[in-house]
Structure 1
Amino acid sequence: MSAQTSPTRIPDPTTRYRRTGQRGVNTEMLSWMFMRASGALLVILIFGHLFVNLWLGLGVKGIDFAFVAGKWANPFWQVWDLLMLWLGLIHGGNGVRTIINDYARSSTPRLVLKGLLLVAVVVTIVLGTLVIFTFNPCPAGAEPSLLPAVCQG
């Protein structure tokens, strides 16, 4: 080593890292925190969903139109399923966004892929939300022979 160069100095690991030049909100950190929180909540929601639908009920054989109609007649289950839908799609979309950022080399394909992802997530959330809150197994004025058994009587 020459007298002119000094050895690389490694900072003390107990000191906080300072960023230079960054201002505003750290969106990647917020994204990381959202993934952890939504993942934990999704585990609870999904296992609750499976417990009620498969173990307390008749299993897979018991899940039919009437079962869903009965469940969605209760606002609690509408909100439960809505949370699963929204959190699952946003969590998954955020994960795919991270993959796009990692693998799309140039900005144009990255922008196109992220735009398509956003459209797909938003359309699916909107359609799923409409299905959950507008679901009516017994629409007024429908031909009685076409209605399910839960609407008879």
Structure 2
Amino acid sequence: MTAPVLGKSYDRPASLDAPRAPRRQSGNNFEKYAWLFMRFSGLLLVVLVIGHMTIMLMLDGGVHRLNFAFVAGRWSSPFWQIWDLTMLWLAQLHGGNGVRTVIDDYARKDATRFWLKTLLVISMLLIMVTGTYVIFTFDPNIS
């Protein structure tokens, strides 16, 4: 029996992993790249969202000018389509990566992790595909 260190005993059953405890060791660097992606996408999202909010809510009359015609005019420019598409994709990937980390940390069973991640990927793809479709096929001349 080992002596307790700072009030903790190391005689706990092996099934009670601490959150963030690695479950598998693999030779790839996926977690490192996922961590880096979170930092860089977060910084880029801050710039994109602050720019979006400034343009949409503060400049040229603010929120009172936001209507269908404003969106139609904005999305007639490829620049704004790419801006909004980048915001959509980065937000989905950034948020999905965060939820994936939470699933890995707290889902105990492999099957539970699998199904939660499957639902996560399906929902992310559905939102990204639908959002991309709307941005690029938006028709300002609705009859």
TM over 0.5: same fold? yes
Distance 1:110 1:118 in 2: 12
The answer to whether residue 130 in structure 2 is matched with residue 127 in structure 1 is yes
Residue 58 of structure 1, CA deviation: 1.8
Specify which of 39, 42, 49 is matched with residue 39 of structure 1. Answer: 42
Paired amino acid for 2:97 = N
> Where does residue 73 of structure 1 map in the other structure?
76
CA RMSD of aligned residues (A): 1.2
Distance 1:22 1:66 in 2: 52
> Where does residue 109 of structure 2 map in the other structure?
106
Distance 2:68 2:90 in 1: 24
> Where does residue 86 of structure 2 map in the other structure?
83
Paired amino acid for 2:36 = M
The residue correspondences of 1:130-145 to structure 2 (distance < 5 A) are 130-139=133-142, 142=143
Specify which of 54, 57, 61 is matched with residue 54 of structure 1. Answer: 57
Task: Report the identity percentage.
Answer: 53
Task: Give ranges in structure 2 of 5+ residues lacking alignment.
Answer: 1-24
Higher relative contact order (CA 8 A, sep 6+): 2
Distance 2:62 2:33 in 1: 39
Residue 137 of structure 1, CA deviation: 1.2
Q: State the secondary structure of the residue aligned to 1:136.
A: coil
Task: Give ranges in structure 1 of 5+ residues lacking alignment.
Answer: 1-20, 143-153
Distance 1:22 1:72 in 2: 44
